[in-house]
Structures are given as C-alpha cells and as structure tokens.
C-alpha cells in the first residue's frame, strides 16, 4: 500500500473503532504493515504514536459525552476502554487538566481532533541511498524487548549497559576475558542495531549485534537470520544519534511518500555503525539505515 494511503487508512480505521478494543497491532493488520514500521512512521509523521493517538482521541471524545449527556462516568469509562471509573478519571484529569466532574460543570477541555494527513514532498528521492540485493545473513547479539512508545529513550540505555559490561574492556585493547567478550570481538558486535517486529502486545525485539561468523553462541545471546531480500540502504554522515535520527525522519516523511517504485517489506530493520573508522561523536562519522523493501505492484 502506498505510504500516505497507509497512514490515512490507519487514521480512518482508528476513528471508526474508537470505542472498540483495538490497539497498534490491529491497526497494522488493517494496512498490511509491520506494527514496528507503522509505529515508527506514524510517530515521525504526526508527532504521536499509534497508541497515544488512540488514547488521546478517546479521552477527547469522552469530554463532550460528559458535557452534553447525563451518562454516568462509569458508563463513559467503559465506552472508551477503561475498566474502572478511577483509572478513567486519572487518565482524563491528566489529559484535560480537569476532573470529569469539573468538565461536566463547564471547565474547558483539551482539544485533540482527528488527524488530517497532508505532506509536502521536498526532494525525497534525492536522499543518499541505494537499493541493494542481499543474500541471507545471520547476526548474533545481545537481545532485549522494548515497548514501541518508550523505545527511543530506553534503547540508548541498553547500549550503555552492554558497552559498560562487555565492550569497553576489549575496545581498550585488552584480551577477551569471557565468552561474551570473545563473541563480541569475533563477530564485531556493535556494528548493527537490529529491530525485529515479531511480538504482540506493543513490543519488539532489539539486538545489539554483529554479523555471525560461526562459533559458540554464549548463553543468553541470540542468532537471527535475515532472508534474501532487497534493501534500501540510506547513508548517513554526522555525529550520533542526531544524524541518524534526522535521516530516519526524512525516510518516513519524504522518501516513502515520494517514492514511486518501492515500499516497505518484512518485519525487521538494521542500523549500521562504522566500528573501524572514527568515533560516534565525530562530525564525519559514518552510519546507515537499512530497510527491507519490495517493488510496488
């Protein structure tokens, strides 16, 4: 599905089902897209995640129900997916800055109207990228599960933890002291950051990884194999993480909406980091984003 059509269809579906028990997984199924790619693209284009959009729209629509009807708070809470009036009142007050009873008495509410998706294409296809066919390849790495809505803040902490625990010693020139440090050296773990969307419940797997060269897989580490695919490889030059985040934003705001030939495919993506040349804070540091793609029908 064409990217802008995908996002608009997602918004329309959410609007039609605000009072039903749907979440990001249900929305992604409607547009035939990985929940990870939908969440990432939706957030970058609109400024809110899919789950946050649903939550805010429900809380906004609950306010006119309170003002214009005599419906009990508990019934409005159940209508918009809250199991108790207490949980509804807490979320409602946090969003509107007023309690349900205060809004019923005329207190002003926080507006959150349905999104209308419009975008101005500015040189999207002039980005520094290439389409590269890749044979199947395996990566090995340290894995953790993350929530879509908090991953941007939590993943850097994961990197800091792994670097402190395993990488800093060998990067300083010391010989590997345990199987984890040996695997890190043998497979250049840290070259890739891999997002894998094969979970339910608004979560995905993230690997701090390297290309698997064979040998033992220490307990707690995992292997993941990418199938043969075409990949869109977007080059990035600049200090991390700002430079990579800028390219990522342009992919979803400019390249995908403006690209007549390719659309996203699969359920995983790769961040590539140059582990040989330079430091991540250097102004000419090299990195890249790899996205699996397919030609549009």
Model-level pTM?
0.80
In a domain? residue 111: no
Q: Which residue has the tokens 């159940």?
A: 78
Q: How many domains does the chain have?
A: 2
283 in the same domain as 147: yes
Say if residue 189 is in the same domain as residue 61: no
The CA-atom distances, in angstroms, between 36 and each of 202, 229, 244, 292 are 9, 18, 18, 13
In a domain, 117, yes or no: no
Question: Which is it for strands 203-211 and 229-237: parallel, antiparallel or unpaired?
Answer: unpaired
Contact 138, 212 (CB under 8 A): yes
Statement to judge: residues 167 and 270 lie in one domain: yes
Residues 133 and 273 in one domain: yes
Q: Tens of pLDDT along the chain (297 residues)? A: 688 889 999 999 999 999 999 998 899 999 988 888 898 889 888 888 899 999 999 999 999 999 988 899 999 999 999 999 999 999 999 999 999 999 999 899 999 999 876 654 444 445 788 999 999 999 999 999 998 888 888 999 999 999 988 888 887 778 889 999 999 999 999 999 999 998 877 789 999 999 999 999 999 999 999 999 999 999 999 998 888 888 988 898 888 887 888 988 888 999 999 988 888 889 999 999 999 999 987
Residue 144: how many other CB atoms lie within 10 Å: 16
């Amino acid at each position: 599905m064409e990217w802008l059509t995908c996002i608009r269809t997602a918004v329309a579906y959410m609007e039609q089902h605000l009072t039903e028990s749907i979440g990001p997984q249900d929305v992604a199924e409607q547009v035939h897209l990985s929940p990870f790619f939908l969440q990432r693209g939706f957030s970058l284009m609109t400024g809110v995640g899919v789950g946050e959009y649903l939550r805010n729209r429900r809380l906004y629509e609950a306010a006119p129900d309170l003002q214009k009807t005599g419906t009990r708070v508990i019934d409005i809470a159940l209508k918009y997916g809250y199991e108790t009036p207490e949980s509804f009142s807490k979320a409602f007050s946090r969003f509107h800055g007023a309690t349900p009873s205060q809004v019923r008495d005329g207190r002003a509410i926080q507006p959150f109207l349905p999104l209308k998706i419009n975008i101005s294409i500015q040189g999207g296809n002039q980005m520094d990228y290439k389409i590269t066919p890749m044979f199947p390849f395996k990566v090995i790495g340290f894995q953790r599960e993350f929530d879509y809505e908090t991953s941007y803040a939590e993943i850097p902490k994961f990197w800091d933890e792994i670097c402190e625990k395993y990488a800093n010693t060998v990067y300083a020139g010391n010989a590997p002291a345990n199987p984890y440090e040996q695997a890190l050296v043998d497979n250049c773990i840290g070259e890739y950051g891999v997002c894998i969307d094969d979970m339910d419940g608004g979560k995905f797997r993230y690997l701090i990884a390297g290309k698997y060269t064979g040998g033992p897989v220490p307990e707690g580490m995992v292997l993941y194999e990418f199938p043969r695919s075409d990949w869109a490889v977007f080059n990035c030059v600049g200090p991390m993480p700002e430079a990579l985040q800028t390219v990522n934003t342009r992919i979803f705001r400019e390249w995908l909406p403006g690209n007549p030939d390719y659309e996203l495919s699969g359920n995983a993506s790769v961040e590539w980091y140059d582990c040989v040349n330079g430091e991540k804070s250097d102004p000419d540091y090299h990195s890249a984003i790899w996205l699996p793609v397919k030609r549009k029908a």
